[in-house]
Structure 1
């Protein structure tokens, strides 16, 4: 395939502007690239953040939780074939020290590969409109379009018996939460976890913890509907921080303290409570995006006495080629009902879908093509 492909894409033209669906052209795949006809794509908080101000070049086609069917492959592609059902995840170089340690989320060139809007190899665009380049390759896919171009490296082949239209969020949001619990924290059967924030990432962490038979799992979340869903998904306790004067004291009352905690809020005061909720040798994983000026509000002596670890976690410490199929296997076995987080919207209702997520009406919106 050498000709460009006509497609429809949701474009953000300036900071804060709504998505507009427009006609574009997607370039044919190069040697290591894969062309995918999109079936579904999740909307992640990162997409909304980039639309409203996180620095990415504009105009841009966002979207980074895509799923679809392979339509064409480049000459050097060997592990993906036409007709495969695939999920798209983040890009990495595959060659640096961290990539060679099976830690591609910490690739030395992660940000230029996933947020620059152009090919990392030569700065070229994969999306054009009337011959003019449109920034794309967001997380090496830009899946808010009827077709996406990815690299073989970030294209994960899936079992065709799975519901392809909802698999996309396994490539980022669900992977981030579940991977944080399972990969980064390494939670074991019977160990306890407190999750601060019951959105898509927090509830995915709950699903991951349950899939590996964790013990007590507490979800701290102000929205009643999300607390109810957390209980349905296997949380042993939920706490409403608006109605609980002292969340830390409540956690200690319920379980005495936890082995692990995850903060998905990015709020320093929440992190402070999470650190103090940890039992000796406990680990706090940070997933939320903090205010730019924020610092970690932890008492160092308190941490020293208990041997506490605090660390940020990117993409759930996951290698997508390994972890996405593992989550899919849990789903098939009935141990990972991530479909209960998902609400479906037609592609042309992308603005309505994003608004529903912002207002809490849906946990994980998925656009259907």
Structure 2
């Protein structure tokens, strides 16, 4: 049976700011078809607002329109489709924004974030099956965002887009594990593979950058340098364990990181989505150092570095998508670190809001006035 629900629909990218006035996201009444084979219907309880969502709103990350936005969330299973045996109504889940098929070559070699069918479905705005379960009040199809579409009271996802968790974790914290924690902590511990005593510099103290900082600290990194132009975010980084902070508007970020790390960081993690910041991160590493980039610049932006430095200085430049995660492995272990007090990701939550406040929330995000904002869907 079709479910009637409310969701935030983006019909056109590139709206002018402030979004509270132009209102690019419309709260609409939608029809949600029941889950098909290998799918579940979830009552969304909390959804985080991520820069990746903003990248769709402002057009730097083009996606098919119209689209029900949102990808970082937690909720409760309400119904399961045919042949679903691993989920049941009442299960609490965290969403994964890459639906890994489990059988392609990348999934087979333990790199599910590069799943070929999953990437194709995300680009097309469908579920892993190729289906779209959304229709607007006129009966027209709407696209899914990264297989999740979390800015809605209810959603249908592939079972490959969900991980079961214990129900006692507050939903506003659980939601963060779907993207900010997975991407940031994963960049430090999976992609960079930071070891105890190695120096780390993190560029950008948004939700993902602060999670990367926490991941580096949990891995035993020292010193740990946080780079951000916003004073409040630098102060938060210090409270979370950063040994040094750098204001790139007041000093040369590259030279400052080198000074704080004794010649350059062993690892630099860039989370801003700027090719200029990525260049700074690259040059802030020591000879033989590694730069991991997490941010998503506009597709037309190009990076320029001396090609010879990759060989003559044995530098490494690596991309990290969704923290190079295996979600069925990493969600439980990162949750364990949180419960042990080693990943205080609850400190990243700066705002809670209702769905109707979503456009103003994107203004705060664009102005760098928030770390992580969470939409609460209360009964």
User: Shorter-chain TM-score: which interval?
Assistant: over 0.9
Which position in structure 1 is the counterpart of 2:37?
A: 31
Match for residue 152 of structure 1?
159
Q: CA deviation at 1:232?
A: 0.6
Verify the 8 A CA contact 2:127 2:158 in the aligned structure 1: no
The Cα shift of 1:165 comes to 2.9
Question: Aligned to 2:258, which of 252, 258, 273?
Answer: 252
Aligned to 1:263: 270
- The unaligned stretches of length 5 or more in structure 1 are none
- Report if the CA contact (8 A) 1:354-1:365 is conserved: no
Q: Return the alpha-carbon distance in structure 2 between the equivalents of residues 19 and 267 of structure 1.
A: 25
Note if 1:205 corresponds to 2:196. Answer: no
Structure 2 CA distance for aligned equivalents of residues 156 and 271 of structure 1: 32
Aligned counterpart in structure 2 of residue 94 of structure 1, from 91, 102, 106:
102
In 2: Cα distance, 1:319 partner to 1:113 partner: 19
Alignment: residue pair count: 365
2:66 is matched with which residue: 49, 59, 68? 59
TM-score by length of 1: 0.94
Contact 1:282–1:308 (CA under 8 A) maintained in structure 2: yes
Counterparts of 2:174 and 2:376, CA distance in 1: 11
Name the residue aligned to 1:106.
114
Any idea what the Cα deviations from partners look like across 1:224-255, whole Å, max 9, x if unmatched? 000000001111110001111x2222222222
Provide TM-score, normalisation by structure 2: 0.92
Cα distance between partner residues in 2 of 1:158 and 1:119: 22
With over 3 angstroms needed to count, the CA separation of the structure-2 counterparts of 1:294 and 1:165, relative to structure 1, is closer
Which residue is 1:82 aligned to? Answer: 89
Is the Cα contact below 8 Å between 2:289 and 2:314 reproduced in 1?
yes
- Whether 1:348 aligns to 2:346 is no
Q: C-alpha displacement at 1:120, in angstroms?
A: 4.3
Q: Indicate how the Cα distance of structure 1 residues 129 and 268 shifts in structure 2: closer, same or farther if over 3 A, else same.
A: closer
1:305 to 306, 312, 320: 312
**1:365 alignment counterpart:** 373
Q: CA deviation at 1:301?
A: 2.8
- Residue 282 of structure 1 and its aligned partner are, at CA, apart by 1.4
C-alpha distance in 2, partners of 1:292/1:365? 26
Match for residue 316 of structure 1 among 320, 323, 329: 323
CA separation in 2, counterparts of 1:78 and 1:259?
45
Match of 2:177 in 1: 170
Whether contact under 8 Å (1:286, 1:313) holds in the other structure is yes
Partner of 1:339: 346
Distance 1:77 1:239 in 2: 50
Q: Which runs of 5+ in 2 are unaligned?
A: 16-22
Match runs of 1:185-264 below 5 Å? 185-244=192-251, 246-256=252-262, 257-264=264-271
Q: Distance in 2 between matches of 1:11 and 1:267?
A: 27
Aligned to 2:136: 129
Q: Is the 8 A contact 1:271 1:297 kept in 2?
A: no
SS in 1 for 2:143: coil
Question: Which range moves more in the overlay, 151-160 or 259-268?
Answer: 259-268
Contact 1:118/1:135, CA 8 A, preserved across alignment: no
Take 2:144 and 2:12, find their aligned partners in 1: how far apart are those partners? 17
**Aligned equivalents of 1:253 and 1:165: distance in 2?**
38
CA offsets 1:66-123 (integer angstroms, 9 cap, x no match): 211111112222222211111111212221111112211111233322232223434x
